[in-house]
């Protein structure tokens, strides 16, 4: 399941939210107040992505002293309230015609358990966007990228589709530089977080040709006096995202549940010669892909096939089949007088004419 996302335009990397044709999406967590009536007045808002789960769920049973028990119960109550608020917002957003999405805040450890927690919390429908939030490439505070690979794989096992990857420029660049190691993360649609008006020099174009969402406004760069974009009915610290497409296209491509097309390996490609006129005109060098190096899985499959072929070449040759010979003197005399076959006839006899066979050709000659 792949997605063919075309290369983004240069304007999509420089304050694209100023283009009234570009669709916007907001994402919120449980403490962001939302005035839904006011929010509905902004027609550029196409989608609403809400925080769902956070790491692992709290313990269902509480143990320990009084303080530990009270803390355990408070965490469980917060979890239950957050889940109820999530489902309520989902109903309201869809009633207003907004596309819905959910993201999981990834914590260290147990990627399969976190994936199950995310799915059980969000209860996603087939048209709900899913996102894995990797805040930074620091495995002591956030989910490691190796665990994130397993998280994504388990979501696909259960739902048959993939989440979007939310991360910052530093982590995205690290993944792009190590695509051989992060084969799934490097092919997830990218939800890019950077709070600068221009990201052209920072975007990891070596792997992703564009983003599906760019989180350009948040508490980091939106205050009382200055903000890249203010959404009616939301506070200043609300996260606002821009898509490199109009509202109709975003609705059609939502929820981005596939993998992006694998990019050609420039180490396994050759530059296509340019004419002098094309070079003077400033045309960029293009590359023709050649056969890329096989992956480990492909090498194992190739070795297994070659080994089976090699082993079959040492199988025993087909065994010659003999006509049934007579038993006893009387039968032998009758057989000799009536229908004793010649040696050439025995050699040419079809294999199916007699079920008796032997693997010894010397024994075969001795009988003849």
pLDDT digits (tens, 9 = 90+) for 189-205: 999 999 999 999 999 98
Helix, strand or coil, per DSSP, at residue 11: helix
Strand-pair partners of 357: 321
**Contact between residue 199 and residue 192 where contact means Cβ atoms under 8 Å apart:** yes
Tokens of 331: 């039968």
**Contact between residue 157 and residue 184 where contact means Cβ atoms under 8 Å apart:** no
Residue 82 pLDDT greater than 90, yes or no: yes
248 burial type by CB count under 10 A (0-12 exposed, 13-18 middle, 19+ buried): exposed
Q: How confident is the model at residue 366 (pLDDT cuts 50, 70, 90)?
A: very low
pLDDT digits 0-9 by tens, 12-68: 999 999 999 999 999 999 999 999 999 999 999 999 999 999 999 998 888 889 999
If you average pLDDT over every residue of the chain, what do you get?
84
pLDDT digits 0-9 by tens, 321-335: 445 555 666 776 676
Which is it for strands 129-133 and 164-168: parallel, antiparallel or unpaired? parallel
pLDDT digits 0-9 by tens, 300-329: 777 777 777 777 666 555 544 445 555 666
**Contact between residue 110 and residue 73 where contact means Cβ atoms under 8 Å apart:** no
Q: How confident is the model at residue 91 (pLDDT cuts 50, 70, 90)?
A: very high
State the Cα–Cα distance between residues 118 and 104, nearest whole angstrom.
6
- The CATH code of domain 16-253 reads 3.20.20.80
Query: What pLDDT does residue 85 have?
Result: 97
Query: In this prediction, what percent of the chain has a pLDDT beyond 90?
Result: 64
Q: At what angle do helices 111-122 and 66-95 cross, to 10 degrees?
A: 50
Q: With a threshold of 0.75, does the pTM exceed it?
A: no
Q: At what angle do helices 111-122 and 145-159 cross, to 10 degrees?
A: 50
- For the ranges 98-112, 122-136, 263-277, the lowest mean pLDDT is seen at 263-277
Query: What pLDDT does residue 294 have?
Result: 62
Query: In this prediction, what percent of the chain has a pLDDT beyond 70?
Result: 75
According to CATH, where is 3.20.20.80 located in the chain?
16-253
Query: What pLDDT does residue 43 have?
Result: 96
Residue 276 pLDDT greater than 90, yes or no: no
Q: How confident is the model at residue 235 (pLDDT cuts 50, 70, 90)?
A: very high
Show the CA angle centred on residue 203, arms to residues 215 and 7, nearest 5°.
95
């Amino acid at each position: 399941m792949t997605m063919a996302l075309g290369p983004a335009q240069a304007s999509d990397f420089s304050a694209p939210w100023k283009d009234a044709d570009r669709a916007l999406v907001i994402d919120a967590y449980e403490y962001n107040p939302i005035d839904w009536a006011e929010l509905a007045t902004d027609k550029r808002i196409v989608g609403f992505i809400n925080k769902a789960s956070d790491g692992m769920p709290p313990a269902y049973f509480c143990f320990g002293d009084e303080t530990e028990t009270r803390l355990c119960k408070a965490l469980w109550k917060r979890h239950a309230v957050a889940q109820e608020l999530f489902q309520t917002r989902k109903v309201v957003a869809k009633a207003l015609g907004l596309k819905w999405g959910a993201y999981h805040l990834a914590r260290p450890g147990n990627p399969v358990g976190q994936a199950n927690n995310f799915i059980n919390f969000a209860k996603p429908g087939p048209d709900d966007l899913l996102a894995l939030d990797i805040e930074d490439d620091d495995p002591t505070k956030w989910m490691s990228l190796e665990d994130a690979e397993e998280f994504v794989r388990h979501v696909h096992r259960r739902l048959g589709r993939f989440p979007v990857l939310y991360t910052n420029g530093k982590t995205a660049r690290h993944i792009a530089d190590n695509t051989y190691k992060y084969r799934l993360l490097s092919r997830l649609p990218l939800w890019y977080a950077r709070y600068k008006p221009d990201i052209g020099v920072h975007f990891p174009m070596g792997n992703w040709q564009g983003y599906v969402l760019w989180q350009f406004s948040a508490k980091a760069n939106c205050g009382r006096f200055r903000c890249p974009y203010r959404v009616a009915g939301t506070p200043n610290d609300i996260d606002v995202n821009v898509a490199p497409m109009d509202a109709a296209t975003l609705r059609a491509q939502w929820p981005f549940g596939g993998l992006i097309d694998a990019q050609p390996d420039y180490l396994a490609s050759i530059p296509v010669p340019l004419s002098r006129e094309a070079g003077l005109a400033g045309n960029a060098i293009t590359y023709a892909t050649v056969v890329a190096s096989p992956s480990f899985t492909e090498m194992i499959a190739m070795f297994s096939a070659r080994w089976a072929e090699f082993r079959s070449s040492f199988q025993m040759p087909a065994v010659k089949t003999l006509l049934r010979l007579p038993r006893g003197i009387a039968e032998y005399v009758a057989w000799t007088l009536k229908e004793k076959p010649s040696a050439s006839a025995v050699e040419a006899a079809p294999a199916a004419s007699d079920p008796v066979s032997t693997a010894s050709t010397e024994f075969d000659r001795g009988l003849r």
